[in-house]
Amino acid sequence: MKKLISIYIFTFLLIPLFASDHSLIINDANKAYSEGQYADAIELYEQLINNGLESPELYYNLGNSYFKINDLPSAILYYEKAIKLDPGDEDVIFNLKVANSMIPDKIEEVPLMFYKRWWNSIYDLFGANMWAKLSVFCLIAFLLMLAIYFAGNSYFIKKTFFWFALIFFVFTIFSFSFSFQKYNTIEFYTNYNGEVSYKNLAPSERDKAYMYAKDADGNPYSPAWFTINLKASYQLTSKLKIDAGIENILDYRYRPYSSGICASGRNFIIAIRGKLGE
């Protein structure tokens, strides 16, 4: 019994976080936790998350803070987020089991189908960073095999490197899927603006006929429009992230009300975000 208690106490100690630009908030959060001011610690840890900081240690500490105030659903949520980024962390796994065991009237989960179990077992082999590195490695290997296939002169070389390229292509798809599933987002959304008739235009806008379409009576008005957009975010490593997107995929004519811009056109967005230091 004494051994179990000592493990329980140890696993609920804070894991230190390292981020030079957030060090002050981190120190204040850890101090608040150590002094038993768990509500203050939660507020500070969530401030770090809102500032874009994400790590298994941060989610672990936040989960512990929620556990201390007996908010078990929130504690479980952040333990699971920590495990998603670091599936092999034994302390987080232990705390998650403790928190789950304290949920009353727990419903037994329906067993997964065999193919889902296989998928999850492969999915949990590595964290997000390792799957991202594997996807990049397999993509480079695929392109190399493909180049040798096209450059080869003999049937044997072409056949051999065709199959190698195919294998690495499949590995690229699977490793990319695992990495994206763990640590990335994709958004498909639409923007819509309803029609603004002449009588609903602001008086100051009615004199700007050159900016508006004309209704059946020849009066300026703003017709309805919508755009369809796609954005994705891909975490290559813990310090390198790529954001990309396409706005107005269908290339429809649109104009936000009173913006002065009225035209069709697609917007292509790409950004690379990096973090310096720990």
Distance CA 37, CA 32 (A): 5
The DSSP result for 44-57, as a single string, is: HHHHHHHTT---HH
3-class DSSP assignment, residue 31 = helix
pLDDT given at position 198: 84
* Residue type, position 161, single letter: F
Q: Are 212 and 195 in contact (CB under 8 A)?
A: no
Per CATH, domain 2-101 is 1.25.40.10: yes
Model pLDDT, residue 207: 80
* DSSP sequence for 68-123: HTT-HHHHHHHHHHHHHH-TT-HHHHHHHHHHHHTSTTPPPPPPPPHHHHHHHHHH
Q: Which of 166, 178, 88 is nearest to 133 (CA)?
A: 178
Give, for all 278 residues of the chain, the pLDDT tens digit. 333 333 333 344 454 554 445 678 888 888 888 888 888 889 988 888 888 788 888 899 999 999 989 898 899 999 998 898 888 888 889 989 888 888 766 556 667 777 778 877 877 777 767 777 888 888 899 889 888 888 888 888 888 988 998 999 888 888 877 766 666 677 778 888 888 888 887 777 788 777 778 888 888 888 888 888 888 777 666 677 788 888 888 888 776 655 656 667 788 888 888 877 65
Q: Name beta bridge partners: 242.
A: 234, 272
CA 39 – CA 211 distance, rounded (Å): 53
Closest to 60 (Cα-Cα) out of 101, 11, 120, 98: 11
